[in-house]
């Protein structure tokens, strides 16, 4: 056969997460697929699949055709999980929007994505109302509930009413092109307008498959939605949980009291959360002497967790796995894969390792740390470089932005902007975002390294370190600190604590106590802290 001859794959099927629903509804039809902790509704896999099919049919009936975009603005609830299957089943792309954005940002996403339908939760009507008259090319449909019944704009169609409009037959669960768009995820827009990250059916399938393998979820698992489903499509767990045949429990707002009650009453086995969420959960559990009766696996990411944050959760009997990725990599791209030879280490030593970003998951293909010439840095745990990735679980590109796409994929690799070292066993450890490195008097300081020390103080609940202007050194570290309830601490005491553990030039020169600004996914918004300090001054030292 000639070397370039193409083999006909007669039984070939394109990869798509839609196949997960087809399988689980067939195998576990009588088991609960999703329940709501807010209003008590629950749907078996058979019922869930029927609602998804009905939703897809209603979308086609409403004029949605191949390649169209459908937007969704909602907190975690069963309808959001339905949309992750119903929209692609209708051959459209889902645009799940961050519900913490402003009206103008939401309007920008609706216009930029060219969404034809816009589903929004009634509780979020306040942020939607100002733009309703400005989205004439996009039909708005409200998702109401027992907690938030229909009100205002009675002419707006309701979600359940929309489902009943279904008459058109849906396409098959099989798709024609696995590289077609399944979703567009818009980044937070902290450095300008939100960017639309394009996901394919193939990438979503493979990343979800890795989620299942990494988490060990089965049809007996119970997954609690403490992670917003809009965030990287719930790190692709929206598809993974269904693929495993597990039970999903949705919760609209993360309240530590409610979360721990659900964990105990529902036998929760898995959840994902940002490090800041783990801080609040561990703090509440410690104050109430909560003891787990069943094994709980927690997956954390979105920001580098301090070892102390992991330690506090592990003391409760929680098994913590650290994941690393970004919107552009469908969420998780690497994990801190545990090795048995570390079992004999002390808890502190184990948690220090668990704070590393680890190695690529099974479907991530290639991830490495390189210098400016794209040469891989030595695996010495000291030499810093930028994390770059390539593979099937890296985005297709930025929607309607060819220039930014090409710039982000320099030399055939996606450039993360994260600076890291590689340890001798090949595990990556982030030292900072490139924009968060502090250059003081010519010396580079990792804000993450300083934050780890601050977290180790028994009175510190949360901490963030940024560069602030300094007449002598150009810029110096400043620490923003939230104390644990009932604790008191002076700047002098915390400064002395840092100077015992860090080189003096790395120690914060200023301290400020109070709450930290965060995104809806729990990330500390350092840019807000930074902008406040540099307002009216010259640009930061490069």
| pLDDT tens profile 280-313 | 999 999 889 888 988 999 999 987 788 999 999 9
Across the chain, mean pLDDT equals 91
Q: Strand 157-158 to strand 196-200: parallel, antiparallel, or no bridges (unpaired)?
A: unpaired
Q: Which residue has the tokens 């979800």?
A: 208
Q: What is the pLDDT of residue 11?
A: 84
Q: How far apart are CA 305 and CA 282, in angstroms?
A: 13
- Give me the helices (H) in 114-245, please: 125-128, 159-163, 201-215, 232-235, 237-244
Least confident of 225-239, 352-366, 527-541: 527-541
Query: Is a pLDDT exceeding 60 seen at residue 1?
Result: no
Please, which pLDDT band fits residue 145 given cuts at 50, 70 and 90? low
State the maximum Cα–Cα separation within the chain, in Å, rounded to a whole number. 77
For 326-345, what is the mean pLDDT? 95
- Higher per-residue confidence, 149 vs 412: 412
Q: Which of 135-149, 269-283, 379-393, 418-432 has the lowest mean pLDDT?
A: 135-149
Helices (H), 355-483: 402-408, 447-455
Map 91-106 to HEC letters: CCEEEEECCCCCHHHH
Residue 276: per-residue pLDDT: 85
Q: Considering the entire predicted model, what is its pTM?
A: 0.85
Please write the tens of the pLDDT for every residue from 153-187.
Answer: 666 889 999 999 999 888 889 999 999 999 999 98
Who wins on pLDDT, 189 or 379? 379
CB 490 within 8 A of CB 481: no
pLDDT confidence of residue 260: 97
Nearest to 308 by CA among 411, 448, 194: 448
Q: Which residues, at least 6 apart from 241, have a Cβ–Cβ distance to it below 8 Å?
A: 217, 221, 223, 248
Homologous superfamily of domain range 437-534: ANL, C-terminal domain (3.30.300.30)
Residue corresponding to tokens 């007669």: 10
Asked if 263 and 274 touch (Cβ cutoff 8 Å), the reply is no
pLDDT of residue 541 exceeding 60, the answer is no
Q: Residue 189 burial (CB < 10 Å; 0-12/13-18/19+)? A: middle
Band (235; pLDDT cuts 50, 70, 90): very high
3-state secondary structure 16-42: CCHHHHHHHHHHCCCCEEEEECCCCCE
pLDDT at 224 over 80: yes
Specify the range with the lowest mean pLDDT, choosing from 18-27, 206-215, 524-533: 524-533
Residues forming a β-bridge with 250: 36, 225
| CB-CB contact of 335 with 323 (8 Å) | yes
Write the Ramachandran bin of 536: left for phi over 0, alpha for psi from -120 to 50, otherwise beta.
left
CATH 3.30.300.30 placement within the chain: 437-534
pLDDT at 154: 63
DSSP-assigned beta bridge partners for residue 119:
72, 141
Distance (Å, rounded) from C-alpha 125 to C-alpha 139? Answer: 15
pLDDT tens-place string over residues 65-77 = 999 999 999 999 9
Q: What share of the chain is helix, strand, coil (3-state, %, to 5)?
A: 35, 25, 40
472 pLDDT higher than 90: no
Residue 466 has pLDDT above 80, yes or no: yes
Of residues 293 and 151, more confidence is placed in 293
Pair 369, 385: CB distance under 8 Å: yes
- Cα separation, 282 vs 308, in Å, equals 11
Question: Which of 33, 53, 55 lies closest to 45 in space, CA to CA?
Answer: 33
238: Cβ contacts below 8 Å, ≥ 6 apart: 80, 81, 84, 229
Q: Which of 93-107, 382-396, 438-452, 507-521 has the lowest mean pLDDT?
A: 438-452
- The stretch 212-230 carries a mean pLDDT of 97
Instruction: Judge whether residue 360 has pLDDT over 70.
Output: yes
Provide the pLDDT for residue 54: 96
Please say whether the dihedral angle defined by the alpha carbons of residues 342, 345, 349 and 350, taken in this order, is positive or negative: positive
pLDDT score for 187 = 85
- At 153 the pLDDT is 64
Q: Output the CA–CA distances (angstroms, integers) from residue 379 to 324, 338, 370, in the order listed.
A: 19, 18, 11
Lowest-pLDDT choice from 88-97, 114-123, 242-251, 427-436 = 427-436
Asked whether the predicted pLDDT for residue 149 surpasses 70, the reply is: no
Alpha-carbon span 498 to 331, nearest angstrom: 33
CB of 360 within 8 A of CB of 366? yes
- Say which residues have a Cβ less than 8 Å from residue 264's Cβ, sequence separation at least 6: 293
The whole-number pLDDT of residue 539 equals 44
Fold category of 254-433 in CATH: Rossmann fold (3.40.50)
The CATH superfamily of 18-29+39-202 is ANL, N-terminal domain (3.40.50.12780)
Q: How far is CA 123 from CA 25, 345, 439, in A?
A: 31, 48, 44
CATH 3.40.50.12780 placement within the chain: 18-29+39-202, 254-433
pLDDT for 302 equals 81
Dig out the tokens for 22 from the structure: 């087809």
Side-chain-side CA neighbours of residue 36 (13 Å): 19
pLDDT digits (tens, 9 = 90+) for 37-80: 999 999 999 999 999 999 999 999 999 999 999 999 999 999 99
**Mean pLDDT of the 321-332 span:** 95
Confidence of residue 505 (pLDDT cuts 50, 70, 90): confident
Q: For residue 542, is pLDDT > 50? A: no
With cut-offs at 50, 70 and 90, classify the pLDDT of residue 190: very low
Q: φ, ψ for residue 47 (rounded to 5)?
A: -65, -40
Whole-number Å distance between alpha carbons of 178 and 195: 23
Residue 47 parent element (H or E):
helix 45-61
């Amino acid at each position: 056969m000639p070397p370039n001859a193409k083999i006909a794959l007669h039984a070939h099927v394109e990869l798509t997460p839609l196949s997960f629903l087809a399988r689980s509804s067939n195998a576990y039809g009588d088991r609960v697929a999703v329940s709501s902790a807010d209003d008590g509704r629950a749907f078996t896999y058979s019922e869930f699949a029927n609602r998804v099919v009905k939703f897809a049919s209603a979308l086609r009936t409403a004029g949605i055709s191949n390649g169209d975009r459908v937007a969704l603005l909602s907190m975690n609830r069963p309808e959001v999980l339905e949309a992750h299957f119903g929209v692609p089943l209708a051959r459209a792309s889902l645009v799940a929007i961050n519900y913490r954005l402003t009206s103008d940002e939401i309007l920008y996403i609706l216009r930029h994505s060219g969404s034809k339908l816009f589903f929004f939760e009634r509780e979020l009507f306040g942020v939607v109302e100002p733009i309703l008259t400005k989205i004439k090319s996009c039909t708005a449909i409200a998702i109401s509930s027992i907690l938030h019944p229909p009100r205002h704009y009675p002419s707006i169609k309701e979600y359940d009413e929309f489902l009943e409009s279904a008459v058109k037959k849906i396409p098959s669960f099989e798709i024609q092109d696995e590289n077609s768009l399944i979703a567009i995820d818009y980044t937070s827009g902290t450095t300008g307008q939100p960017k639309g990250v394009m996901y394919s059916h193939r990438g979503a399938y493979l990343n979800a498959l890795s989620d299942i393998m990494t988490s060990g979820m089965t049809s007996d698992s119970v997954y609690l939605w403490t992670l917003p489903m809009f965030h990287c499509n719930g790190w692709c767990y929206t598809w993974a949980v269904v693929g495993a045949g597990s039970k999903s429990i949705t919760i609209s707002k993360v309240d530590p009291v409610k979360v721990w009650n659900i964990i105990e009453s529902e036998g929760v086995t898995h959840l994902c959360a940002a490090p800041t969420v783990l801080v609040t959960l561990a703090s509440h559990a410690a104050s109430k002497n909560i003891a787990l009766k069943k094994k709980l696996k927690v997956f954390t990411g979105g920001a580098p967790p301090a070892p102390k944050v992991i330690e506090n959760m592990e003391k409760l009997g929680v098994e913590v796995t650290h994941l690393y990725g970004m919107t552009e990599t469908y969420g998780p791209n690497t994990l801190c894969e545990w090795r048995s030879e570390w079992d004999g280490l002390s808890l502190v030593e184990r948690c220090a390792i668990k704070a590393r970003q680890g190695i690529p998951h099974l479907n991530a293909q290639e991830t490495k740390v390189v210098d400016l010439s794209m040469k891989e840095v030595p695996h010495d745990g000291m030499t810093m470089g930028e994390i770059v990735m390539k593979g099937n679980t890296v985005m297709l590109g930025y929607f309607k932005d060819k220039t930014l796409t090409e710039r982000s994929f320099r030399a055939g690799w996606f450039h993360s902007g994260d600076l890291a070292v590689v340890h001798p066993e090949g595990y990556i450890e982030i030292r900072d975002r490139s924009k968060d490195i502090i250059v003081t008097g010519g010396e580079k300081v990792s804000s993450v390294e300083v934050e780890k020390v601050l977290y180790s103080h028994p009175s510190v609940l949360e901490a963030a370190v940024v560069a602030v202007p300094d007449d002598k050194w150009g810029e110096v570290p400043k620490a923003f600190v939230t104390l644990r309830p009932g604790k008191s601490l002076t700047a002098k005491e915390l400064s002395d604590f840092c100077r015992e553990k860090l080189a003096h030039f790395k120690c914060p020169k200023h301290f400020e106590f109070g709450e930290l600004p965060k995104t809806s996914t729990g990330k500390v918004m350092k840019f807000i802290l930074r902008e406040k300090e540099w307002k009216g001054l010259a640009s930061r030292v490069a």
